[in-house]
A and B are shown apart, each in its own frame.
Chain A
């Protein structure tokens, strides 16, 4: 992994942060749509989406590589399951 200075991770800043931001864009729209159109039976789905929003936002705040990967994979899984 190429590091340029102490505390600075190029892979995280140049690739993971833009990827997480892109997923966060989609997630926010998805979350609002689910809350506005959802019903009581969807509470587990709404909770999963809300957790994904919190995970993506906090991962961007902490910028931990593993956390960013996990948050993105978690939201990707929710979308995949939803599409199925």
Chain B
């Protein structure tokens, strides 16, 4: 009986090890890319702030935190009367420029998104850029969807699931692999494979809880469109105000921004307004989106919808007053990107985020060294790892250059071909490998 229990336990460990091995091997490159791009993605606002300040020379001369932008916004609305959406983004720091997120039809029938910078002291437009081709957008899109517009986001979600599987199975096989070894000992004089295995176990178990949180929140964020469709889940703070006037009349209505911000402070004192979005569809409203300091939730999810006529409240969404389901929905992105503890937390997130990249490289090294030890493969492991790493960095660099200097659409097209081509090749390889092994086993059994 004891022997049977022992066998069952051993079989379980073997299953966990195989899962850890194969899931890690087939998704290692994806996890590595997501680790590297994720470590950079946590600093997107800071990187973008520096670029806007130095590359576009866009800063505010406002003496206090009160910014003026009414004339600039009005001139933009008159210059581009066909705009689809116009949102004012208030700066987080006094010296930062006020931004306008402007979406308008382009010549090819699609839409183009611009970032327009306003000096909040002089109420003057001081620059603009194509939002899609910015470095901030590259960093976000490469991490969120690998620049593949077809199903890159879902692929990233699958990468999150894979990381969760390797983290959990890694924990389950940890004891078996440590045997008499103590944490955090590294056997420095042992063979390279053993040293890599020691580092793999040390880093893996030390950052396991962090990686599991990143994996599960990443899986949710990536697979969100599918899950929400399958289970008919609605975005919790979605609100559509009724149409009360003609769209053109709505666009032509002047907004008294200072009055609007006063009304926002009166109706929702804890809200730090970030986005001010005047309606253009005939609802006659201004939507104020922002944050409540000190809370661990996705950015700009608190909403106050005010009437353009008298600035009375039409809708208010305060995350603190919402049921658990809403709060759980909106905690995911904050936990994933570490956007709730300033630069120190972001630095910690970047450091711990890079551990999953290290684990995919060290795991691959262990696999290659083991293969060479068994004389299955004669190639030099480090050379193979170097080639994979260089190709990965080359992919990221080429897509970045195309996106920044040619255009987002072209970069997305190129990334789509590379990502889907590699995916097809990987699936094809896995199927062929499985069939060959099965045939070999059956022929061995027949003999």
Shortest distance from the beta carbon of B206 to any chain A beta carbon, whole Å: 5
**Is B183 in contact with A13, judged by CB distance below 8 angstroms?**
yes
B294 within 8 A of A: yes
Chain B interface category by residue count: 20 to 34
Partner pick for A32 among B181, B207, B294, B341, CB 8 A cutoff? B341
Please give me the residue from chain A that is nearest to B177 by CB atom.
Answer: A14
With most chain B CB atoms within 10 A of its CB, the pick from A8, A10, A13, A63 is A13
B277 within 8 A of A: no
**Is B178 in contact with A14, judged by CB distance below 8 angstroms?**
yes
Please give me the residue from chain B that is nearest to A27 by CB atom.
Answer: B209
Shortest distance from the beta carbon of B336 to any chain A beta carbon, whole Å: 12
Beyond A13-B182, A13-B183, whether A32 also contacts B345 by CB under 8 A is yes
Shortest distance from the beta carbon of B9 to any chain A beta carbon, whole Å: 13
Question: What 0/1 readout, one digit per residue, does chain A (1-41) give for beta carbons within 8 Å of chain B?
Answer: 00011001010011101100111011011001101111000
Shortest distance from the beta carbon of B364 to any chain A beta carbon, whole Å: 23
B340 within 8 A of A: yes
B240 within 8 A of A: no
Taken together as a complex, chains A and B put the C-alpha atoms of A17 and B352 apart, in Å, by 18
Chain B facing A: main interface SS:
helix
Please give me the residue from chain B that is nearest to A9 by CB atom.
Answer: B182
Taken together as a complex, chains A and B put the C-alpha atoms of A8 and B183 apart, in Å, by 11
B174 within 8 A of A: yes
**Is B208 in contact with A8, judged by CB distance below 8 angstroms?**
no
Residues in B neighbouring A37, C-beta threshold 8 A: 293-294, 340-341
Taken together as a complex, chains A and B put the C-alpha atoms of A18 and B338 apart, in Å, by 23
Chain B, range 137-192, C-beta contacts under 8 Å to A: 171, 174-175, 178, 180-183
**Is A29 in contact with B345, judged by CB distance below 8 angstroms?**
yes
Taken together as a complex, chains A and B put the C-alpha atoms of A60 and B205 apart, in Å, by 13
Shortest distance from the beta carbon of B399 to any chain A beta carbon, whole Å: 31
Residues in B neighbouring A13, C-beta threshold 8 A: 175, 178, 181-183
Taken together as a complex, chains A and B put the C-alpha atoms of A8 and B294 apart, in Å, by 43
Residues in B neighbouring A32, C-beta threshold 8 A: 341-342, 344-345, 348
**Is A25 in contact with B208, judged by CB distance below 8 angstroms?**
yes
Shortest distance from the beta carbon of A32 to any chain B beta carbon, whole Å: 4
Q: What is the number of residues of chain A that contact chain B, defined by CB distance less than 8 Å?
A: 24
Partner pick for B341 among A5, A26, A29, CB 8 A cutoff? A29
Shortest distance from the beta carbon of A27 to any chain B beta carbon, whole Å: 10
Taken together as a complex, chains A and B put the C-alpha atoms of A21 and B183 apart, in Å, by 11
B51 within 8 A of A: no
**Is B345 in contact with A18, judged by CB distance below 8 angstroms?**
no
**Is B171 in contact with A18, judged by CB distance below 8 angstroms?**
yes
**Is B174 in contact with A33, judged by CB distance below 8 angstroms?**
no
**Is B209 in contact with A22, judged by CB distance below 8 angstroms?**
yes
Partner pick for B208 among A21, A35, A60, CB 8 A cutoff? A21
B76 within 8 A of A: no
Beyond A18-B174, A21-B205, whether A29 also contacts B348 by CB under 8 A is yes
**Is B341 in contact with A33, judged by CB distance below 8 angstroms?**
yes
B210 within 8 A of A: yes
Taken together as a complex, chains A and B put the C-alpha atoms of A29 and B211 apart, in Å, by 13
B194 within 8 A of A: no
Residues in A neighbouring B344, C-beta threshold 8 A: 32, 35-36
Taken together as a complex, chains A and B put the C-alpha atoms of A15 and B172 apart, in Å, by 10
**Is A33 in contact with B180, judged by CB distance below 8 angstroms?**
no
B396 within 8 A of A: no
B255 within 8 A of A: no
Please give me the residue from chain B that is nearest to A18 by CB atom.
Answer: B205
Taken together as a complex, chains A and B put the C-alpha atoms of A72 and B3 apart, in Å, by 35
Taken together as a complex, chains A and B put the C-alpha atoms of A63 and B184 apart, in Å, by 11
Taken together as a complex, chains A and B put the C-alpha atoms of A60 and B184 apart, in Å, by 10
Chain B, range 285-306, C-beta contacts under 8 Å to A: 293-294, 296
List 19 other contacts, CB 8 Å, given A4-B180, A29-B210.
Answer: A5-B180, A8-B180, A8-B182, A14-B174, A14-B178, A21-B205, A21-B208, A22-B208, A23-B209, A25-B352, A26-B209, A28-B348, A32-B342, A32-B344, A33-B296, A33-B340, A36-B345, A37-B293, A37-B341
Give 9 nearest A-B pairs by CB, closest first.
A14-B175, A22-B209, A25-B209, A37-B294, A33-B341, A36-B342, A32-B341, A32-B345, A25-B210
